[in-house]
Amino acid sequence: MLASFAFAVIGGVIGIAWSSPSFENPQEPRPAVFRLRSEVPVGDIGGRQILEQMVDLCRDVEEVLLIPPPERPIQVNLFKSKDSFEAFLIPRIPSAKGRSAIYVDDPEGGQIYLWHHPDIEQDVRHECTHAILHQSFQEIPLWLDEGLAEYFEVRREDWAENHPYLVEFKTVLNSQSVQRLEALEALEHVNQLTPEDYRSAWAWVHFLMHGPTPAREEFRQYLIDLAADSKAYPLSERLRARMPDMEVQLFHHLQEW
């Protein structure tokens, strides 16, 4: 998830007993982009491991999308519990209620907030993808932001072959389960997104990354155009011109993948 607005974090997060004011990965080139502060002692939660995951993910995202590396800091704020996370965030971002993680744009870079739980790796990868994208694109359509975050939230070896959504498409879903791209492009606020929208956004990203040549070509050109101009000609119109039956092709792609 990402917050669609920013709030200022003045002088760090006041009132939180961070065990480490700001912890960096010593392997990362200077100046370090990724930083972690945690309410839980860093040694206990593998802080270095979290930062290494972020650096690896960042390299992967750059390599796949051909985008430049982020230059402004990306700060991970790890809370010890859901209660602690909500006590800090809900007064500032009411929609954080019930979430396990959230990304917030910050003029200085980006802030990732999450609470410590057993599946923290997936949340870190999802929110970190948002943070990277928001530095590479002045604006990115909501559906694409979430579709890419869903795609990259699993480990690299699982991106193409083993995402839980892929299993759903192969077993229980039908061709009506995918939202039209035009409908996804019309979404403007993260609070509008349903679980089906997230799943459809992921499906389109998979199709654009691994589908037929016209889909991959149009996606590649769209990313280049979007990096240069946030009002780039919509992807749906580009794809529709070359693949009028693109929903049918998408569903067959996932079924046969």
- Residues of the shown chain interacting with Zn ion in the complex, contacts defined by CB under 5 A: 1, 146, 149
**Crossing angle between the packed helical segments 120-136 and 142-152, to the nearest 10 degrees:** 140
SS3 category, 66? coil
Find the shortest distance in angstroms from Cβ 245 to Zn ion: 29
Nearer Cβ to Zn ion (78/246): 78
Q: Are 206 and 254 in contact (CB under 8 A)?
A: yes
d(CA 13, CA 80) in angstroms, rounded, equals 14
Find the shortest distance in angstroms from Cβ 130 to Zn ion: 6
Find the shortest distance in angstroms from Cβ 15 to Zn ion: 26
DSSP string, 231-255: TPPPHHHHHHHH-TTHHHHHHHHHH
What the block records as the tokens of 86 is: 């909500």
**Contact residues for 114 (Cβ-Cβ < 8 A; gap 6+):** 76, 77, 78, 79, 85, 100, 101, 102, 120, 123, 124, 127
Nearer Cβ to Zn ion (99/253): 99
Nearer Cβ to Zn ion (148/254): 148
Q: What ranges in the chain are assigned the alpha helix state H?
A: 42-45, 47-65, 82-89, 120-136, 142-152, 164-171, 181-185, 195-210, 213-228, 235-242, 246-256
Q: Are 72 and 33 in contact (CB under 8 A)?
A: yes
Find the shortest distance in angstroms from Cβ 237 to Zn ion: 25
Q: Which amino acid is at 6?
A: A
Find the shortest distance in angstroms from Cβ 145 to Zn ion: 7
Nearer Cβ to Zn ion (119/256): 119
Nearer Cβ to Zn ion (99/238): 99
Nearer Cβ to Zn ion (149/166): 149
Find the shortest distance in angstroms from Cβ 255 to Zn ion: 26
